Amino acid sequence: MISLLIAVAVSTLVSVFGTPLVIRYFRRHGIGQQIREDGPEGHFTKAGTPTMGGVMIVAGGVAGYAVAHLRKEQERVIFTRAGLLIVLLIIGGAVIGGLDDFLKVSRERSLGLNKRAKSGSQLVLALVFAWLAYAAAKSPTTISIVRADGFHVDPGVVGWVLFVILLVIGASNAVNLTDGLDGLAAGSAAFAFSAFALIAFWQFRHVPVYEVPQALDLAILSVAMLGGCVGFLWWNAAPARIFMGDTGSLAIGAGLAGLALFTRTPLLLPLVGGLFVAETLSVIIQVFAFRVFRRRVFRMAPIHHHFEQKGWPETTVIIRFWLIAGALTAATLGVFYYDYLLRCPGTPGSRSCAAPPPVPAEAEG
């Protein structure tokens, strides 16, 4: 528990106090957001606001995760391959997003990497992660909702790799689409990371039920990323003094996908990240309807812009979407705990369902 507190405290402090330094640096070097010409008119005043602030979310998360392991808690706080792989995945997403953001700034237009380069980079990152995860995971080809011995499917190695690629790329792009209002993506991501923090810690306390020996390490990483998002949100809240850019959104999405995979809850990700899913679906529906029927379903997509066009103040949209993200987090935890009660009915304190066995030092993803 102390390691979790250390992780979230360090990550939050690094993000809170490091972000102003990044803001000043980016302003001196003219690294500012380019606004799309077809975007909401009210957003043109945001042009020039420093971007690429997601670097501090990642920096805070990695710092909190690393420092938390300096304290040995009954020899259980150890680095695992699962945790380190997710960290590398997060950094990889940040690098791709950072390159995209840099090109937007250097070219002084709202387009960075072309679709082929961006999609190709994400595909390579997801493929490498899937291959390394396959080598690290205990039951690598199992896709489950909550636990490996519950509802699950085994699509085989090839099917599993394709699923992981879809999970990583889909989650990254979903968060990226949600990042359109001040604090919307950071606040929503904080809810999602908090859900995985609670899930992973519960798995750590009930190892015989979930058989996720690296659960404590995943819980530490989850709260570290939570702290990074919260610290950044201090400066990103409306009116934002800095944007996370693709640097932050692609890293956050990749991190959520990695946590879902290694906590063996990948099929829960669409629920905990339901807001991101809705944003993505709104774009798909809008594009499909316009190309097929030459009609628009929404006034503007993603859907948060639709409500802006209807006259909702930006802060109203943000807060209401945060409430939705919070409700989805509660629903996710409810589903997760309900499954636990089915597995261990009336035995919340029983030794077979609650007592974690000693975690060997070589416990890995």
Q: Over the stretch 197-230, which tens digit does the pLDDT of each residue have?
A: 999 999 999 888 888 889 999 999 999 999 999 9
For residue 150, pLDDT over 70 is answered with: no
Task: Note whether 48 and 263 are within 8 A (CB).
Answer: no
CA distance 66 to 77: 11
Residue type, 265: T
Which of these ranges, 36-40, 99-103, 130-134, 219-223, has the smallest mean pLDDT?
A: 36-40
Angle between helices 81-107 and 54-68 (to 10 degrees): 160
DSSP 8-class letter at 362: T
What local confidence, expressed as pLDDT, does residue 341 receive? 87
Q: Greater confidence, 35 or 15?
A: 15
CA distance 92 to 126: 9
Task: Note whether 179 and 310 are within 8 A (CB).
Answer: no
Beta strand pairing status for 152-153 and 143-144? antiparallel
Residue 211 CA: distances (Å) to CA of 196, 204, 255: 16, 9, 21
Mean per-residue pLDDT of the chain: 87
Write b or e for each residue in 88-100: b if 16 or more Cβ atoms lie within 10 A of its Cβ, otherwise e.
Answer: bbbbbbbbbbbbb
Q: Greater confidence, 343 or 97?
A: 97
Which pTM was predicted? 0.90
Q: Over the stretch 43-72, which tens digit does the pLDDT of each residue have?
A: 555 666 888 999 999 999 999 999 999 876
Q: What integer is the mean pLDDT of 33-47?
A: 58
pLDDT band at 350; cut points 50, 70, 90: very low
For residue 28, pLDDT over 90 is answered with: no
pLDDT band at 35; cut points 50, 70, 90: low
- Percent of the chain's residues with pLDDT above 70: 85
For residue 361, pLDDT over 50 is answered with: no
Q: What integer is the mean pLDDT of 78-104?
A: 93
Furthest-apart CA pair in the chain: how many Å? Answer: 63
What local confidence, expressed as pLDDT, does residue 78 receive? 85
Q: Over the stretch 247-262, which tens digit does the pLDDT of each residue have?
A: 999 999 999 999 999 9
What local confidence, expressed as pLDDT, does residue 23 receive? 93
CA distance 276 to 173: 9
